[in-house]
Amino acid sequence: MKTKFLKTFTLVALVTFASCGDKAKEAETKEAETAAVAEVSAVTYNVNTDNSTLEWKGFKPTGSHTGTIAIKEGSLSINDGVIESGNFVIDMNSIVVTDIPAEEEGNGKLVGHLKDPDFFNVEAHPTATFEVTGVETTEGKTMLSGNLTIKEKTNNISFPVALDIKVDNVTLTSETFTIDRSKWNIEYGSKSFFDNLGDKFINDEIEMKVSLTASKA
């Protein structure tokens, strides 16, 4: 019985440890910078919104939720295989929750809550934006930097991306990265703003993964 208990305890401990360590690295975050400007020789690719999306994952003490947000529009200017400038607009009204079946009441409640004034305040801020400020190679990875604006608050973030360039189209895929929502004044259930939440808090970290496809203009 003791051996069985120890094995069970070890398994639970390993699962718990793995869960705690599963969050992606936070994107380097700093003050907004000047947007990048492409050379005249750069080739412009317009984002294909049907094949582009932003995946998200939010955490709380009892688990997590996942979902997607659509890309409304955008473009990338590329010169000799390097992104020189670009931007994309995120449609905050398109928030989808994927871990709760769409037909269940909890799905609609969570979507509605995320759109509420105390979270993303979608009615007042229907879009978020990302504008490229630079690209550099660090430790063998291509780091894309840009100004991310949510609820009229702008911070510059940097995260790893992979770029696949074809004759007439390009695909940009980021690694999964994390942002700290408190830096964009998203206050609900955040220990960064409230002291009396107990175990009712929601983690400040939001995981994201960007997938863009774009066609030559």
Please indicate, yes or no, if residue 4 is contained in any of the structural domains.
no
Residue 106 region by backbone torsions, left for phi larger than 0, else alpha for psi between -120 and 50, else beta: alpha
CATH number assigned to the domain comprising residue 187? 2.40.128.110
Higher pLDDT, 194 or 190: 190
Q: What are the backbone dihedrals phi and psi of residue 215, each rounded to the nearest 5 degrees, phi first?
A: -110, 150
Query: pLDDT exceeding 70 applies to what percent of the chain?
Result: 88
Q: What is the pLDDT of residues 99-151, one digit of tens each?
A: 999 999 999 999 999 999 989 999 999 999 999 999 999 999 999 999 999 99
The structure tokens listed for 195 are 């002291």
What are the Cα distances from residue 152, in Å, to 92, 110, 129, 155, 203? 13, 23, 10, 10, 21
Give me the number of domains the chain comprises: 1
- Positive or negative torsion for Cα 210, 217, 129, 35: positive
Count, residues in the chain: 217
Please indicate, yes or no, if residue 3 is contained in any of the structural domains.
no
> Cβ atoms within 10 A of the Cβ of 28, count?
13
Question: How large is the average pLDDT for residues 42-69?
Answer: 96
Please indicate, yes or no, if residue 15 is contained in any of the structural domains.
no
**Quick check: pTM over 0.75?**
yes
Please indicate, yes or no, if residue 13 is contained in any of the structural domains.
no
The two most distant CA atoms of the chain are separated, in Å, by 74
pLDDT value of position 22: 65
Closest CA to 162 of 90, 216, 210: 210
What are the Cα distances from residue 67, in Å, to 26, 89, 113? 19, 17, 14
Mean pLDDT of all residues belonging to the chain: 89
The CA distance from 86 to 99, in Å, is 31
Q: What residue numbers bound the domain in which 28 lies?
A: 24-216
pLDDT tops 50 at residue 200: yes
Q: Which of 148-162, 166-180, 186-200 has the lowest mean pLDDT?
A: 186-200
Please indicate, yes or no, if residue 16 is contained in any of the structural domains.
no
Higher pLDDT, 18 or 162: 162
Closest CA to 90 of 55, 114, 66, 135: 55
